[in-house]
Structure 1
Amino acid sequence: MSYIAFDKNQLINLSFSLQREVLRTNRKGSYSGTTVVNCNIRKYHGLLVSFQPRIDHQHHVLMSTLDVTIVQQEKEFNLGIHKYEGDVFEPGGHKYIREFVADPVPKLTYRVGGAILTVESVFAENEDRLLLKYTLVDAHSDTKLKFKPLLAFRNVHFLSRANDYADKSFDKIKNGCKFRMYENYDPLYLQFSKRNTYSHNPTWYYDIEYSKEQTRGYEYKEDLYNPGVFEVDIAPGESIYFSAGLGDIGSRKMEPIFEKEIKNRIPRDSFIHCLENSATQFFVVHNDTTDLIAGYHWFNVHGRDTFVALPGLTLPNKKYDLFLHVIDSMIQKMEGIFFPSSLLDKEFRYHSVDTQLWLFWSLQQFVKFSGKHKMVWEKYGSLMANILNEYRNGTRFNIHMLENGLLYAGSDNDSLTWMNTRIDGKPVIDRNGLAVEVNALWYNAIRFYITLAEKMKQTDGVDGWKEIAEKIGTSFAGTFWNYEKQYLADVVRGDHKDFTVRPNQLFVTSLPFSPVNDEIKYLVLQKVQQELLTPRGIRTLSPKNPNYQGKYKGNIVQRDTAYHQGSAFPWLMGHFAEGYLNIHGKSGFTFLKRLLAGFEEHLKEAGIGTISELFYGDPPHKGKGSVSHAWNVAELLRINYLLNEFEQNINRNK
């Protein structure tokens, strides 16, 4: 039996099946995404969604979905399903589904009368191509399949409406047709592995609804274009392949490519294998660069997310070359000493204080796994020195070092840390000043640089950094620690100290070099465990705070308000686990194993086999946001590595 499987009773219950999504990506950055019953509920869903560089740097839905009809004895059974106004679902093909399994590839089994049809899907790793395999397992009479593609040709952030500008022409190609609705788009090639007939009958399907967009407060109705219908005969025991791609494919190549793609997949037959499979889906190769997508479906390249996620996604499996290629690709995108915080339209934005410091942590992890101190120093030593020097001397965004060695950042309406949501141009949380995690990262970066320099016997200027590190070691606790409250301030600005209970203090417990002693680490972990820890991640705000928002829902303003005011993030669990092991050792091992195992059930709750962006701070801690988020997957994999490493060390010392 497949590790992830759903039966008929679960699948025909749309309140269950429409909450579960399937996502497949490739190394070109394209993806295929829908629900387990093939009913699109997001504007981001589509069977073939790809970058269109002649238009912009964002994803575009080319083929939204594919309605398939089984024809027997002149009776038609449409397997498609779309939502229309009033919770009407037509044609209602989900009622024919008998089973969904996720391994080795997503597979649906339909039963219509005497016919049993299975549909398996793969998304080609190195080209923009979806392959679907239709197998008629059994049939009591002659059977024909009709295929009705519904096309969109639009940016994922917008919706299509019927119009007179769409190009309704088509070109016949081998066993299929080629379509291009608008200028500057790549043509879409729809082809089969055997001969078929095509009847051209351009039709618009009006007002298909996407329930997730309606819930999120966005436009949610779309018109989709159907150019015509393909028909093909199929015999019992026969398999027919359908390809939707951005290039031509020979009919005889479909089956071997399909089988090869299956063999190249990490099987989704266990919790960790699912995470490892998911980890491969965030990497995108463009010519000589390799980028890391922060999450699907609407995220792009984010510098902070890249450096936080990269170690967990690559190093436990010794993918050192991939790690370095992503680092080098990020360096190509730098503006001065700043890495891009995000990509908006065609332009990178550079607006972060901690992203540069996360680079140090990422390289630190690489050295820990690979032992390649010399290579890191020779390749990145001068870059690290430039970042440290400019931060010390002062740079944009009012980033500068104070006399006591601590790092100050931000002014006015800046939002430079990871808690950077904004409403009407203003930050939801004002964290300008001395942010606790920024200064923990600053101290760690300086100490890492000193360690590398001394190991390589390159000590020019190191004494000055040692003095700064010692200053920070002295001033950090005096600035952030409160002996009565027994935890660290989140932000200090002049005489004002913000003792809002947030998870940012957590990093003093996990970073390789920390500016606080073990007693403070113990008390910080205790505070986080008491007020912020949930089974699905670490809350961004204590429920005791009057501004706490335990549910991430509603329109964009409501969601942005809740994002860092109570929502729980799994990626923070990685630093909680590392800090907990550092302080509690063997006594904390079983507790952390249970925490990690608690995420297993989520693999079947939202994005199949992967981890959502965030969770409700309140029970039942429902997954929300993007269905697959890189740093969450990465940090759970890193927790698994830390626990395995710890267990091996215990066994060696017996």
Structure 2
Amino acid sequence: MSYLKFDRRLMANLNESTQREYIRTNRKGAYCCSSIVGCNTRKYHGVLVVPIPTLSPNNHVLLSSLDLTIVQHGVPFNVGIHEYEGDIFSPKGHKYIREYNVDIASSMTYRVGGVVLRKEFIFCHYINRALLRYTLLEAHSQTTLRLSPFLAFRDVKMLTHRNDQINESYEGVDSGVSFCLYEGYPRLYMQLSKPNHFVSDPAWNERIEYTKERERGYEYTEDLYVPGYFEVDIALGESVYFAAGLEEVDPQDIAALFEQEVAIRTPREDFRSCLLNSALQFYYRPDATRGYLLAGYPWFGVRARDLFIALPGCTIYADAPERFYRIMDTVIPDTRAFMEQVGVSKEIQGINEPDVGLWAIWTLQQYASYAGVEDMVSRYGDFLDEMVRYYLRNVHPNLRIDETGLCFILGDGKPLSWMDAKIGGQAVIRREGYLVEVNALWYNALCFYREVMPSRWDEGLEELLGRVKESFNQVFVNEHGYLFDYISPHERQDWSVRPNMIFATSLPYSPLSKQLRRSVLNFVTRELRTPKGLRSLSPKSYGYQAQCNGTQLQRERAYYNGSVWPWLLGPYFEACLKLYGLGAISFIQRTLIGMEEELHEHGIATISELFDGNPPFQGRGAISFAMSVGEILRSLKLLEDAKKKYDTQTLPIIRYE
């Protein structure tokens, strides 16, 4: 039995099945994504969605969907599904689904009369190609399959409509056809593994509706071009393969290609293996030498801060240190170029943001914990030294080390931290001045630098470190026992309780006393902790918003005013283990069991970007988010290490090994 399995009851309930989405990527920026029932609910959904840099920086939907029709005795049963304007679903293929399984390849089993057919899907690594396998498990008479491609050929941020500019002509290829609907696009090759008949019957399917876009306040109806259909006979026990890609393939090789892809996959058989698969899907290799982490799917690119925060969990704690080396070798030159003021990376967004270098130092600290200080210094010691000296030179456009020794950040109203929601280009929460997590990272960075590179430490740095510690306590600690989120010279003091103070208790080096750290952790636990992560604002604070839904404007206001962020569980668990040791282990285990349930919800086999602030804590935002996955993987390692330290073999063990 599959670890992730959805039965006919759930699949037939469109209120449930259309809320669950899957994502598969190819490490080259392309992906396939839809709801598990096969009904596209976003403009980002598609069977083949690929980057085309010559057209735009966004991905492009080429093959939106592929409808399957099962024909027996001349009677067609279309098992596809689309939603049309007016909340009309047609055809209603979900009625025929018996189960949906997620293991190595996603598979869906249909029963139509006396026919039982299994459809399996896999997305090729490092090539823009989707493969589907149709296997006839039961049949009492001749069976024919019809496959109808719905073509879009458009940017993921746009929608297509019936037009006269479309190129309806197609070219025949071995066991298939190829199309290029608009100038500038590559050809899309669609082929089957056995001889078939392509019936040209061009038509527009109009007013297809994407409910997720309607909920988000965007345009949500589209017309898709259906050029005709493939017709192929299938025998009992036979498998027929379909390939859609940007390159022609030998039909005789499609079955072997499918098996090769299956052979190199890690089965999704427990919590950790699902997260390992998810972590690998963020890995992005645009060419043979460079490597990055994408921030999330289906709409994020490479973002510097997200990359450094997610990197330890998605590489070294995902048993893939080679990915860590490749990514660091890629991003270090771009980071150096910015520090030396010779250029800003076009590939990595936000590399110029003031706290990115401090997160990079934290990443090196995580690597040192994994591989040892000596290894870290030999590989990245010079880079660490350059980053610390860069901050000390006070040349960053938005950050200065002032007379207090603290980092002071000031800008023009744009977001300057990870809380980056904005309206009209201006930050929803204008966090400027002294930011608590930035200065906790700064103190930690200096201590780490002193630890691993003592030969480059001097009396001046020692005096600075002491000043930072004293100033941190003077500036951020308040009489109620928690920390101010930020201190800004331009605003009245904001007493809101936010989660950023958790880093002053979780980082390896803290400027706070143990008593203060416990007080801060208790505040976070009482007011911010939920089963899915930490709230971005306490319900007791002014401006709290429990739900993150509605239009973009409404969502931007809610992101950091109450929404729950699962990536913050990493530092939260770390603080719990530091301060409560053995007593924190069972509590962390129970929380992670709750997170394991999320693998069956918003993003199947992965972790969402955020959740609502109040029960039932519905998943929101990107269906798969690198920081969420990375920090949960790191949390599993923290838990494993704590069990070994305290020899807790008799405690209940969650399923992650």
Residue 547 (structure 1) aligned with residue 549 (structure 2): no
Work out whether residues 339 and 356 of structure 1, in 8 Å CA contact, stay in contact via their aligned partners in 2: no
- Partner of 1:393 in structure 2? 393
Pairing 1:278-427 to 2, within 5 Å after superposition: 278-287=278-287, 288-334=289-335, 335-337=337-339, 348-371=349-372, 373-427=373-427
Work out whether residues 334 and 345 of structure 2, in 8 Å CA contact, stay in contact via their aligned partners in 1: no
Q: What's the CA shift for 1:535?
A: 0.4
Pairing 1:3-22 to 2, within 5 Å after superposition: 3-22=3-22
- Partner of 2:654 in structure 1? none
Query: Which consecutive residues of structure 2, in runs of 5 or more, have no partner in the other structure?
Result: 651-657
- DSSP 3-state at the match of 2:285: strand
Q: Distance in 1 between matches of 2:488 and 2:53?
A: 44
- Give 2:556's match in structure 1, choosing from 553, 557, 560: 560
Residue 634 (structure 1) aligned with residue 630 (structure 2): yes
Letter in 1 for 2:112: V
- Partner of 1:261 in structure 2? 261
Work out whether residues 414 and 432 of structure 1, in 8 Å CA contact, stay in contact via their aligned partners in 2: no
Pairing 1:87-486 to 2, within 5 Å after superposition: 87-287=87-287, 288-334=289-335, 335-337=337-339, 348-371=349-372, 373-454=373-454, 458-459=455-456, 462-482=458-478, 484-486=479-481
Work out whether residues 121 and 130 of structure 2, in 8 Å CA contact, stay in contact via their aligned partners in 1: yes
> What's the TM-score once normalised by structure 1's chain length?
0.96
- Partner of 2:620 in structure 1? 624
- Closer/same/farther in 2, CA of residues 203 and 347 from structure 1, 3 Å limit: farther
Q: What's the CA shift for 1:185?
A: 1.6
- Give 1:615's match in structure 2, choosing from 611, 616, 620: 611
Pairing 1:57-76 to 2, within 5 Å after superposition: 57-76=57-76
Work out whether residues 340 and 350 of structure 1, in 8 Å CA contact, stay in contact via their aligned partners in 2: no
Q: What's the CA shift for 1:349?
A: 4.5
> What's the TM-score once normalised by structure 2's chain length?
0.95
Q: What's the CA shift for 1:119?
A: 0.1
- Closer/same/farther in 2, CA of residues 340 and 636 from structure 1, 3 Å limit: farther
Q: Distance in 2 between matches of 1:208 and 1:333?
A: 43
Work out whether residues 81 and 94 of structure 2, in 8 Å CA contact, stay in contact via their aligned partners in 1: yes
Q: What's the CA shift for 1:237?
A: 0.8
Q: What's the CA shift for 1:377?
A: 2.9
Q: What's the CA shift for 1:393?
A: 3.1
Work out whether residues 175 and 251 of structure 1, in 8 Å CA contact, stay in contact via their aligned partners in 2: yes
- DSSP 3-state at the match of 2:338: coil
Instruction: Map Cα deviations across residues 218-250 of structure 1 (whole Å, 9 max, x no partner).
Output: 000111111121110111111000001111111
Count the aligned residue pairs: 647
Moved more, 14-23 or 334-343: 334-343
- DSSP 3-state at the match of 1:383: helix
Query: Which consecutive residues of structure 1, in runs of 5 or more, have no partner in the other structure?
Result: none
- Closer/same/farther in 2, CA of residues 565 and 576 from structure 1, 3 Å limit: same
- Partner of 1:645 in structure 2? 641
Letter in 1 for 2:403: E
Q: Distance in 2 between matches of 1:186 and 1:332?
A: 32
- DSSP 3-state at the match of 2:130: strand
Aligned-residue Cα RMSD (Å) equals 2.0
Residue 490 (structure 1) aligned with residue 485 (structure 2): yes
Q: Distance in 2 between matches of 1:162 and 1:115?
A: 36
Moved more, 172-181 or 405-414: 405-414
Q: Distance in 1 between matches of 2:623 and 2:199?
A: 37
Residue 530 (structure 1) aligned with residue 526 (structure 2): yes
Work out whether residues 216 and 551 of structure 2, in 8 Å CA contact, stay in contact via their aligned partners in 1: yes
Q: What's the CA shift for 1:385?
A: 3.0
Letter in 1 for 2:323: L
Q: Distance in 1 between matches of 2:34 and 2:210?
A: 11
Instruction: Map Cα deviations across residues 399-444 of structure 1 (whole Å, 9 max, x no partner).
Output: 1111121110113313211112111222111111000000001111
Work out whether residues 28 and 284 of structure 2, in 8 Å CA contact, stay in contact via their aligned partners in 1: yes
Q: Distance in 2 between matches of 1:205 and 1:342?
A: 44
Q: What's the CA shift for 1:397?
A: 3.5
- Partner of 1:580 in structure 2? 576
Work out whether residues 333 and 339 of structure 1, in 8 Å CA contact, stay in contact via their aligned partners in 2: no
- Give 1:504's match in structure 2, choosing from 500, 504, 510: 500
Q: Distance in 1 between matches of 2:169 and 2:139?
A: 36
Instruction: Map Cα deviations across residues 99-155 of structure 1 (whole Å, 9 max, x no partner).
Output: 111113211111111111110011111211111000111112111111110011111
- DSSP 3-state at the match of 2:517: helix
Q: Distance in 2 between matches of 1:465 and 1:74?
A: 83
Work out whether residues 551 and 562 of structure 1, in 8 Å CA contact, stay in contact via their aligned partners in 2: yes
- DSSP 3-state at the match of 1:333: helix
Work out whether residues 202 and 228 of structure 2, in 8 Å CA contact, stay in contact via their aligned partners in 1: yes
Q: Distance in 2 between matches of 1:566 and 1:222?
A: 34
Work out whether residues 333 and 340 of structure 1, in 8 Å CA contact, stay in contact via their aligned partners in 2: no
Q: Distance in 1 between matches of 2:540 and 2:344?
A: 33
- Partner of 1:600 in structure 2? 596
Query: Identity of counterpart residues, as a percentage?
Result: 43
- DSSP 3-state at the match of 2:647: helix
Letter in 2 for 1:354: D
Q: Distance in 2 between matches of 1:388 and 1:178?
A: 54
Letter in 1 for 2:633: L
Work out whether residues 34 and 45 of structure 1, in 8 Å CA contact, stay in contact via their aligned partners in 2: yes
Letter in 2 for 1:157: K
Moved more, 11-20 or 309-318: 309-318
Letter in 1 for 2:574: E
Q: Distance in 2 between matches of 1:508 and 1:341?
A: 33
- Partner of 2:36 in structure 1? 36
- Closer/same/farther in 2, CA of residues 10 and 398 from structure 1, 3 Å limit: closer
Work out whether residues 304 and 350 of structure 2, in 8 Å CA contact, stay in contact via their aligned partners in 1: no
Letter in 2 for 1:209: E
Q: Distance in 2 between matches of 1:104 and 1:653?
A: 31
